[in-house]
Amino acid sequence: MSATPASVSIRTFRAILWRDVFVTGSEMPSFLAQVLIQPFFILFIFGKVLGDIGFVQGDFAAVLLPGIVAMNGFLGALQNTTLPLVLDFSWTREIEDRLLAPIPIPLVAVEKMVFGGLRGLLAAILMVPIGFLLLDVTWPVAGLPMAFLVICLGSLAGAAVGMVIGTSVPPRRINIMFAVILTPLLFTGSSQFPWQALDQTRWFQVVCALNPLTYVSEGMRAVLAPDVPHIPLGVCLLVIVASIVGFGALGMKGFMRRALD
């Protein structure tokens, strides 16, 4: 019995995804350096050093760690979607081998986002033992399954945003992109502070509310540090899913435009 086009596409999708996962294994040292060095020092300085010398309260670590894990998943997925896309669509047009595969072009874009999301998820999970080693923090076991769901969705949201950026920024502007886009996303995502604590700085609270990372950070706190004031979990999940759909659709539109140029 001959294979149907759908089955061929599924097998090809899996093969492409597995190839990218295999490449990640061979590039593990550089991947670990990319996703762990910055959040490690944020945890060490803000959670450990400032706590030990009394510049932050003792319970700040419980606020910080869920946010840093969320940040690492979201931004790890964003970077690992954006950078490969910029290289693929550069003058070498390395994307051509994917476009010639027996798979619809939109599925190539989906694979890019899924792969970026997987790398972001791995980056988030790797931060958990590091955080526990650095900080005196405990998490409720009952909240771990929901936290895993939040970080999975947050990583996909980061990959969707990365798809938009990767198909919009020309290769020669990639360095500027990290300064103009990535840094504001990093510091307005409520990963280092609870969003509701910004009541006295309303303008900045509004800016943070526009960042999808805020809802990943707050969703993680809702299930891992429920005593800390946070945005309701249902609102966080709704915004994260809406970000995946909205940015994913926009990114796929940009991918199709660049692929067919």
Spatial neighbors of 9 by CB under 8 A, at least 6 apart, are 102, 103, 104, 107
CA dist 230 and 223 (Å) reads: 10
Q: Which of 42, 58, 86, 55 is nearest to 175 (CA)?
A: 86
Output the pLDDT for position 1.
44
pLDDT in tens, 199-216: 999 999 999 999 999 999
Q: Which of 76-90, 117-131, 149-163 has the lowest mean pLDDT?
A: 76-90
Token pair 């990218």 is found at 20
CA distances from 108 to 91, 103, 163 (A): 19, 7, 12
Task: Tell me the percentage of the chain whose pLDDT exceeds 90.
Answer: 50
Q: Which of 87-96, 153-162, 167-176 has the lowest mean pLDDT?
A: 87-96
CA dist 100 and 105 (Å) reads: 9
CA distances from 13 to 8, 88, 109, 111, 249 (A): 8, 17, 10, 7, 19
Mean pLDDT (the chain, rounded): 87
Spatial neighbors of 204 by CB under 8 A, at least 6 apart, are 188, 198
Contact 66, 224 (CB under 8 A): yes
Two tokens, residue 67: 């946010």
Output the pLDDT for position 101.
66
pLDDT in tens, 52-100: 887 777 678 889 999 999 999 999 999 999 888 887 777 666 676 666 6
At residue 181, does pLDDT exceed 80? yes
pLDDT in tens, 217-248: 999 999 999 998 999 999 999 999 999 999 99
At residue 5, does pLDDT exceed 70? no
CA distances from 93 to 30, 67, 85, 104, 172 (A): 23, 37, 10, 18, 15
185-193 mean pLDDT: 92
